[in-house]
Amino acid sequence: MANPKAVETRALIHAPLGRDAPVARGLLAEAGMEALISADLADFAKSLGDEICLAVITEEAVRSADLRAIASWVNHQPPWSDLAFIVLTQRGGGPERNPAAARLSDVFGNVTFLERPFHPTTFISLARSAKKGRRRQYEIRARIDEMKESEGHLHTALVAGRLGSWQLDLETNALHASATCKSFFGREPSDTFTYEDLLASIHPDDRARVLQAVRSSIENTEDYAIEHRVIWPDQTIHWTEIRARNVGDSRSRRSLVGVSSDITERKTAEAYMRRLNETLEERVAARTTELQNAHSVVLEEIAQRQRAEELLRRSQRLEMIGQLTGGVAHDFNNLLMAVIGNLDLLTRHTGEDPKTKRLLEGALLGAKRGAALTQRLLAFARRQDLTVEPIDLVELVGGMTDLLYRSIGDRIELTLDLPSTLPLTMVDANQIELALLNLVVNARDAMPEGGSITISADTTETAKTDDLKAGTFVRLIVRDTGQGMSPETLKKATEPFFSTKEVGKGTGLGLSMIHGLALQLNGALRLRSKVNDGTTAELWLPVTAQTAKVRPEAPARSLEPGPKPERLTILVVDDDALIAASTVDMLEDLGHEVIDANCGADALAILSGGQRFDLMVTDYSMPKMTGTQLAAAAREIKPNLPILLATGYADLPAGSEINLPRLGKPYQQDQLAAEITKLLRGREAV
């Protein structure tokens, strides 16, 4: 949408006789409005648009003219638009005494007739009024656009959260339910689904409770939330949760508006937990009866039950987080492939300008850090083991200083209170960096008006507690002077998806990921907070006696092109146009002839055409046919064709096993060239 302030002062004039046009333009200039003059009526009609604030036209210019084009534009204005017209008439030529002028009211709609001669002040006043009215129309347009955008965001949130929306008119009992809502009652999107159908589907044992909740909401004009069983048409029993609000419209018609969600899996898990608890309680009771004097294998049974419950909750949290992060991280990894590939090529084709080279190297470094993050997220989504090694937390935090300062902004003071040395601790450095960044960002968000964050570390000993074994620990502490949390909020802070931030500002996963990481590392995350008194987060990590590994410095990568390999004919297959283009550019820059295909079917058609290829480079994750499936089919056509599989997965999904060399995404030109050389060494072209 155009910026209203940039266009709202433009007027359109059509006055072909005498000096009416320049006079009107001069008066409009005094009113602070730019004016466009149309030479003829056709140009006037063509120039009408949303950006015009006011139209000025003389009555004699349109007295016997064809006004259909203007009338069509007026009648088809957007709902927010009502463009004002000023018609300049001769003395005695107003609509009250001139039927011909009166017909212009039907054409222009929002029209003011100004008889000549007129006082300039009158004309300027009319122009300013029209300008003010148009500005209000632009504001209405902006509100309409915002409402549409909000509706789009709401729809996206409902889809992402697997929520079905519905509305019940309390006067007519007419029910409108979304396709997702219908699916929770076993219906197809095209099925008719009335309020009577909904009531009939409620389990008989739950129906009275649901009806009572509805009556209470209607009588007391209050919200309600209820969980109940539903019987699908196939007679299977499912669980749904209903949340509703009693609302009224401008005509005092009241409706229940709400959302529904399928909680069958949760209820099944809860039933399993109840059975598990009952079983464990029975075992404890039996053991207690059996060993009346052995009050202590009972404590062990209770401890086992608690550990089993915690492991189940933890696995459920990890599963939910993995499902959310896996797909997003994989797609973002593909985008980084295009970014890194193109930046890599740019570094090889720029001149010797130091600033340009520095900027490109900085951009490439940032993209590589993004790629490293997505690899960690992909690994987490598959719940792979952490890469733990002895780490000096002082050195780790010091290496993150620039990133932390950039993350908090100018209104927050960051203080590092770190000792010169700390005992080493066995951790995954990448995950600890991510955890620290999450804690700092959370602290920043808790201080919208500014404040201070202090990062400190120390060594402490503890006896055995509920969350820690006895031993020596390194504590990484993040303190802020922010809004703090109530006791109720603090209890839920590490639960997955719990967040006090507004919609769109947080996922509720940060603290739960840090909590899970601490448990995996045999440590703990401890939180202390009071409302209006800030929050302190302590990450406890066990001390290790192992020594740090010596890391040899990696040789700097030369930006000078190496010797050109022999010219090959290569088939590139990738359904993502950005990645395909990047790979093609890298290969052509190496001197190869490249043909690309955007799906497995196209690639097989090309291979069947008889053209000779030295190599095929294919993506793994493609719709309809994966890279491994394409490779198997391609070997049927050209049995000796060398194939290189490009993928962002550290481990391919189950069922995709095939003996193919792999190139991890994102990759750079020298990595691609090295893999091709290694693959083709000693092989003959097909």
Residue 378 pLDDT: 56
How does pLDDT run across 669-684, given as a tens digit for each residue?
888 999 999 888 755 4
Reported as type and span, the H/E element at residue 284 is helix 264-290
Amino acid code (one letter) for 425: T
Instruction: Look at the block and give the residue holding tokens 């290790």.
Output: 544
Domain borders along the chain are 4-146, 161-262, 393-542, 569-680
Q: Which residue spans within 142-223 are E strands per DSSP?
A: 164-169, 175-177
CA–CA dist 478, 415 (Å, integer)? 10
Is residue 438 within 8 Å of residue 511, measured between CB atoms?
yes
| DSSP one-letter string for 301-336 | HHHHHHHHHHHHHHHHHHHHHHHHHHHHHHHHHHHH
Is residue 578 within 8 Å of residue 338, measured between CB atoms?
yes
> Domain 161-262: which CATH class?
alpha beta
Amino acid code (one letter) for 440: V
CB atoms within 10 A of CB 340: 22
Return the CATH architecture of domain 393-542: 2-Layer Sandwich (3.30)
CA–CA dist 190, 216 (Å, integer)? 32
pLDDT < 50 positions in the chain: 1-7, 379, 382-385, 503-505, 507, 552-563, 684-686
CB atoms within 10 A of CB 98: 18
CATH number of 569-680: 3.40.50.2300
What are the structure tokens assigned to 657, written together? 């096993």
Instruction: Pick the closest to residue 366 from 409, 403, 325 (CA basis).
Output: 403
Instruction: Pick the closest to residue 300 from 312, 289, 282, 284 (CA basis).
Output: 284
Question: Can 4-146 and 569-680 be said to share one CATH topology?
Answer: yes
- Which fold, 4-146? Rossmann fold (3.40.50)
Looking from the CA of 518 toward its CB, the CA atoms found within 13 Å total 26
Which spans in 352-506 are helix H?
Answer: 354-381, 393-399, 401-408, 429-445, 487-492
Cis amide leading into 666 (omega within 30): yes
Residue 668 pLDDT: 85
How does pLDDT run across 461-476, given as a tens digit for each residue?
999 888 889 999 999 9
Instruction: Pick the closest to residue 393 from 428, 369, 368 (CA basis).
Output: 428
Which spans in 98-119 are helix H?
Answer: 99-108
CA–CA dist 356, 350 (Å, integer)? 8
CA–CA dist 345, 559 (Å, integer)? 10
CA–CA dist 665, 579 (Å, integer)? 10
Q: How much is the pTM?
A: 0.44
Positive or negative, the Cα torsion across 24, 27, 31, 32? Answer: positive
